Chain A
Amino acid sequence: MDRPHSDAAGAGRFLGLVFPLLPAIPLLFLITQWGSVAEGNVKSVSFPWVPSLGIEFSFFLDGLNLLFALLISLIGVFVAIYAGAYLRGHPMLRRFFLYLALFMVGMLGLVLAADLITLFIFWELTTISSYLLIGFNHDKASARRCALQALLLTTMGGLCLLAGLILLGYTAGTFDLQEILARGDYVRGHSLYPAILVLILLGAFTKSAQFPFHFWLPNAMAAPTPVSAYLHSATMVKAGIYLMARLHPVLGTTPLWEWTLTIVGAITATLAAILAVRQTDLKLKLAYTTVVALGTITMFFGSDDSVAIAAAITFILVHSFYKASLFMVVGIIDHQTGTRELDRLGGLGKLMPVTWFCAGAAAISMAGFPPFLGFIGKELKYEGALAIATEPTLVAGAAIFANILMVTVAGTLALKPFIGRQRPKSDDIREAHWSLWIGPLVLSTLGLTFGLFTPLIAEGLVQPAVVTLLGEPKIVKLKLWHGVNVPLIMSILTFGLGVCAYLYQRPLRAFLAFLLSFFPTTADRIWDALLEGLKRLADVQTRWLQHGILRRYLRVIFLAATAALLLALIRQDNLSLSVAIPALNVKEWTAMLLVAAGAVMASSVSAPLAAVCALGALGVGVALLYLFFGAPDVAITQLLVETLFLVLIAATLHRLPLSYGRHATRFRRLDALIAIAAGVVVTITILAVIEQPFSSPSSDYFVANSMPEAFGRNIVNVILVDFRALDTFGEVVVVFTAALSAATLVGYTLRGRRR
C-alpha cells in the first residue's frame, strides 16, 4: 500500500528508526539488574513529593515487577519497530509516537511505583494515553466512541481505585507499598478491609476487562493494530493483573478475595471463549481471547497455592509473547490484503511464508502444543487448577473449557487465512517488509526457545515473581515432561476436543450464536443507554439549576447563607443573648432612625430618584454613627464616598429609565420572607458575637506602638500606611482596576458611537 510521502512522512520514517531505542533503554537497564533482583534483592529510589501527607515519588524493583517491566520494554521495542512500518507515511505518525511514549512511561511507572499515590498517577497516565491511542483514528465516529467508552469505564474504575488506595494507605498508616506489603495481616483484620478490597478490585477489573466490564476491550480494537498488540495484549490490560498480583500478599487469601476472583475470572474466561469462537473478524477474535486469558489469570490469582500462582505468572509471560505476535500477524494480513475478515481470507501461506511461520508458532503456543512455552504454561494451569482449594472443579472446568476453545481459535488463526484457495484474488499481495514481521518472528521464536530452556525462565523470571508474590521461598519447576499424570490427560482431552471443535467450526459457531441469542452477552447496549440517561439527567438538571434568572440564583445564595449562619448559631453550645434597652442619647437615636428610615424607604419607594434620596440620607446617618462612636476618619471617608456616589448616580440616572417598570410596585411575599429571615439571623449573630469575651491583641499592639514605633498619632492612618501597608496597597490596586474596568465598559460604546 503506497501512501504519498511528504516531508512529515520522511521525518516520521526517521522517527520510526529511532523510536524503538526509547524502550530499549529501560530494557537494557532491567537486564543489567536482572541477576541481582532474581536473587531476591530489591532496588529502590525515592524522591519526596508531599511529605506532609507521607506521599513519595518512589519506585522499586523486585522479582514481581521485574517480570512486568521486562515484558513492557521488550515488547515495546518490537511494537515500536512494527508501528513505524505499519503506519509508515501516516501524517500523524509523530503524534502516534508521542502517545506511545507517554503510554510506555505510564506503564513502566505503574509497575515500578513503590508508593500508592505514585502508582495511581501512572495508572491514570496509562488510561489517558490509551484513550488517545484508541481514538487515534479520530476522524472515525466509531473510534471516538470506543475510545470514550474505554476512557469512561477505566476512569470510573480508576476513581474507585483511588478511593481504595487512599483507604488502604489510611488503614495501613503509610502509602509506602513495601511497608504495606508487610502489614497484610493488620489490613485484612481491619473493618475497612471489605471496602478496600471491593474498590481496588473494581479498578483492577475495569482495567483488565473482567466481566461485566469486558465489553470495552473488543471495542477498543478500533485502535491501530500496533496499539492493540501492545496495550491490549501485553501491557495495559495487564495493569489490573499486576495490581492484583502486587496486592495479593496484603489483600489476598481471604474467602472474599478467593471467591470474587475465582468466580469473576471463571465467568469472564468462559464467556469470552464462546464469544471468541463466534467472531469472524480476526482482530476481534484475538481481543476476546485476550479477555479469556485475563479471566484465567484472575481466576488463578484467587488462590494462594504456589502452583496456581506459578501457573498464572507463567501464563502472563506466555500470553504476552504469543498474543502480541498474533496481533501483529493479523495487522500484517490486514496491511497487505486490506481485510481481516476470516471468510474473505485464504491461501496466503505461499505468498507470505514468514508471516505464516510467525502465526503458526504463536498459535501453537496459544493452543499449548509441546514443546512450546504455552504447553508448559497449560500443564501448570491444570496442575494449579487442581491445587486450588476452594473450587477445583469449577476452576479446572473453566480452564479446560476455555482451552478447548482456544485450541479452536488458534487453529483458525494459524490455518484458515493461509491454506486453501487464495483470497482475496489480487496479484499485489506479497510478503510484508521485514520491519513488519521482525517483531512477531522474534516474539514467537522466543516462546519456542523459552520452552526448550525452561530453567532459565523458571529460575530467572517465574520463581522470583512467585517468591515475591507469596513472600516465601518456593521452588518452581517448569518441565516439558511431567510423566503421565492428570494434567497430561486433561491436556490430551483438550487437544482432542479442540481439534474436533475446529473441524466442526461452522455448526459450532451457528450453535453458539443460537445459544447466545438468549442471553445479553455484552453490556454495550446497557452502557449506551446509561450514557444517554446521564446526558438527559445533565440536561434536565442544567435546565433546572441553570435557568438564567438572576434573582432565583440570588434567592438560593441568600437562603444558603442564612441557613449556614443559622446552623452555626444552633451548634453554638452556650448561646446567650442579652438584649438590653440600648442606652443611647438623642443624637445617636436620631442617626440610627435616619439610617433605618433611609433603608426602609429605599426598599419601598417606587421611583429610583426617591430611592437615591433615601440612600443619601442613609449615608449621612451612617457617617454620623461613625463619628459618634469614635471613628472620625471613617466618618469623613463615608461622607465623601457617599457624595461621590450620589454624583455618579445622578450622572447616570438620566440615561436610565425613570421608573422601575411594572413589576416594581408588587409586594413580593417570598422575597420579603427571605429578607427578614436573613436580617434576623444576622442580628442574632452579631448579638452572639458581642456576648463573647472581647480580646484583640493586634488592636492593643497598634494602640501601644503607633507612636513609639511608627511616629504617628493617628492610629487608624498608621495602621493603613505602616502596619498594614501591604493590604492598603492591594486595596488601592483593586480600586484602580475596578475604575479601569468600569471606564472601559462605559467608554467603549460611547467612543465607539462617537467615531
Chain B
Amino acid sequence: METALAILVGILVATGVYLMLARNLLRYLFGLVLLSNAANLAILAAGRLTRATPPLVPPGMMEPPLPVANPLPQALILTAIVIGFGLLAFALALLTRSYQQFQTLDSDQIREAEPVKEKKMEEAQG
C-alpha cells in the first residue's frame, strides 16, 4: 500500500514542481497546492498505512483494540491542512494584489524589488 502512496506522492511532487516553475503566478499557486498535498500524504505514508480502525476508543474501553491507525501523523496532517489553507489564501491575496498593481501575473515582469536597470545605472556612473 505504501508503495502506491509513495508513487502517488512522487507524481504530486513532480506535477507540483513543474507548475511552480512556470512563469504564471496562478500556476505557481496551483503547484503549491499540489506540493502541500504531497507533503501531507508523505507524512501519512511515513506513519505507516493501515486499513485498520480509526484511532477511536470504543465506549466502555480504556484502550482501542489493536491494530489501530497511527494517530500522530493524523494530528500533524490535520493542523498542516489548516495552516496550508492559511498559506494558500495568503498567496492568493498576494497574487490578486500583484495583479492589481502590475496588471500581469508573469513573474518575469514583476521585478519591483530587483529591477533590471543595473546596467544602465552603471553606464551612467562610468
Q: CA of A724 to CA of B72 in the docked complex: distance in angstroms?
A: 10
Name the contact of A728 in the complex, choosing from B11, B16, B79, B87 (C-beta under 8 A): B79
Given contacts A644-B85, A657-B105, A719-B72, 10 further A-B contacts (CB under 8 A): A582-B1, A584-B1, A630-B52, A631-B54, A668-B18, A686-B45, A713-B59, A714-B55, A735-B85, A745-B94
Name the contact of A599 in the complex, choosing from B12, B53, B64 (C-beta under 8 A): B12
Q: With A550-B107, A625-B41 in contact, do A648 and B46 touch (Cβ < 8 Å)?
A: no
Q: CA of A296 to CA of B110 in the docked complex: distance in angstroms?
A: 62
| B47 contacts across to A, CB distance below 8 A | 696, 699
Name the contact of A602 in the complex, choosing from B4, B34, B107 (C-beta under 8 A): B34
Flag whether A754 is at the interface (Cβ < 8 A).
no
What's the minimum C-beta distance from B48 to chain A, rounded to whole angstroms?
A: 5
What's the minimum C-beta distance from B49 to chain A, rounded to whole angstroms?
A: 5
Q: CA of A704 to CA of B61 in the docked complex: distance in angstroms?
A: 11
| A706 contacts across to B, CB distance below 8 A | 55, 57, 71
Q: Does the CB pair B99–A655 fall under 8 Å?
A: yes
Q: Does the CB pair A678–B15 fall under 8 Å?
A: no
| B81 contacts across to A, CB distance below 8 A | 634, 637-638, 641
Name the contact of A554 in the complex, choosing from B21, B41, B94, B110 (C-beta under 8 A): B21
Q: With A548-B116, A603-B18 in contact, do A741 and B13 touch (Cβ < 8 Å)?
A: no
| A588 contacts across to B, CB distance below 8 A | 1, 4
Flag whether A429 is at the interface (Cβ < 8 A).
no
Smallest CB-CB A-B distances: 7 pairs: A679-B14, A630-B69, A548-B114, A683-B10, A738-B86, A742-B93, A582-B4
Q: Does the CB pair B45–A690 fall under 8 Å?
A: yes
Chain A residue with Cβ nearest B25: A550
Q: Does the CB pair B10–A682 fall under 8 Å?
A: yes
Q: With A675-B15, A683-B10 in contact, do A739 and B86 touch (Cβ < 8 Å)?
A: yes
A-B contact pairs, 25 of them (CB 8 A): A543-B118, A551-B20, A551-B21, A595-B37, A596-B11, A599-B12, A599-B16, A603-B19, A611-B26, A622-B40, A629-B69, A633-B74, A641-B82, A656-B105, A664-B24, A664-B27, A671-B22, A703-B55, A704-B63, A707-B62, A713-B59, A715-B55, A719-B72, A720-B78, A731-B79
Flag whether B113 is at the interface (Cβ < 8 A).
yes
Residue of A555, A676, A743 ringed by the most chain B CB atoms within 10 A: A676
- Map CB proximity to B onto A325-368 as digits: 1 under 8 Å, 0 otherwise: 00000000000000000000000000000000000000000000
Q: CA of A720 to CA of B90 in the docked complex: distance in angstroms?
A: 24
Flag whether A541 is at the interface (Cβ < 8 A).
no
| A596 contacts across to B, CB distance below 8 A | 8, 11
What's the minimum C-beta distance from B47 to chain A, rounded to whole angstroms?
A: 7
Q: Does the CB pair B99–A686 fall under 8 Å?
A: no
Chain B residue with Cβ nearest A671: B21
Chain B residue with Cβ nearest A612: B30
What's the minimum C-beta distance from A157 to chain B, rounded to whole angstroms?
A: 31
- Map CB proximity to B onto A550-590 as digits: 1 under 8 Å, 0 otherwise: 11001100100000000000000000000110111000100
Q: Does the CB pair B85–A645 fall under 8 Å?
A: yes
Q: Does the CB pair A720–B79 fall under 8 Å?
A: yes
Name the contact of A629 in the complex, choosing from B11, B31, B50 (C-beta under 8 A): B50
What's the minimum C-beta distance from B37 to chain A, rounded to whole angstroms?
A: 5
Q: Does the CB pair A580–B3 fall under 8 Å?
A: yes
Q: CA of A558 to CA of B1 in the docked complex: distance in angstroms?
A: 27
User: Using a CB-CB cutoff of 8 Å, which residues 89-126 of chain B contact chain A?
Assistant: 89-90, 92-97, 99-100, 105-108, 110-111, 113-116, 118, 122
User: Using a CB-CB cutoff of 8 Å, which residues 609-659 of chain A contact chain B?
Assistant: 611-612, 615, 618-619, 622, 625-626, 628-634, 637-638, 641, 644-645, 648-649, 652, 655-657
Q: With A656-B96, A703-B55 in contact, do A602 and B15 touch (Cβ < 8 Å)?
A: yes
- Map CB proximity to B onto A666-683 as digits: 1 under 8 Å, 0 otherwise: 001001101110111011
Flag whether A101 is at the interface (Cβ < 8 A).
no
Q: Does the CB pair B105–A716 fall under 8 Å?
A: no
What's the minimum C-beta distance from B101 to chain A, rounded to whole angstroms?
A: 8
Residue of A558, A583, A696, A742 ringed by the most chain B CB atoms within 10 A: A742
Chain B residue with Cβ nearest A577: B3
Flag whether A689 is at the interface (Cβ < 8 A).
yes
| A619 contacts across to B, CB distance below 8 A | 37
Q: CA of A608 to CA of B33 in the docked complex: distance in angstroms?
A: 14
Flag whether A547 is at the interface (Cβ < 8 A).
yes
Name the contact of A660 in the complex, choosing from B27, B38, B51 (C-beta under 8 A): B27
Q: Does the CB pair A686–B26 fall under 8 Å?
A: no
What's the minimum C-beta distance from A295 to chain B, rounded to whole angstroms?
A: 40
Flag whether A394 is at the interface (Cβ < 8 A).
no
Q: With A595-B12, A644-B85, A703-B64 in contact, do A602 and B30 touch (Cβ < 8 Å)?
A: yes
Chain B residue with Cβ nearest A593: B8
Q: With A719-B72, A734-B83 in contact, do A554 and B7 touch (Cβ < 8 Å)?
A: no
Q: With A648-B89, A656-B26 in contact, do A629 and B44 touch (Cβ < 8 Å)?
A: yes
Chain B residue with Cβ nearest A625: B41
Q: CA of A372 to CA of B39 in the docked complex: distance in angstroms?
A: 82
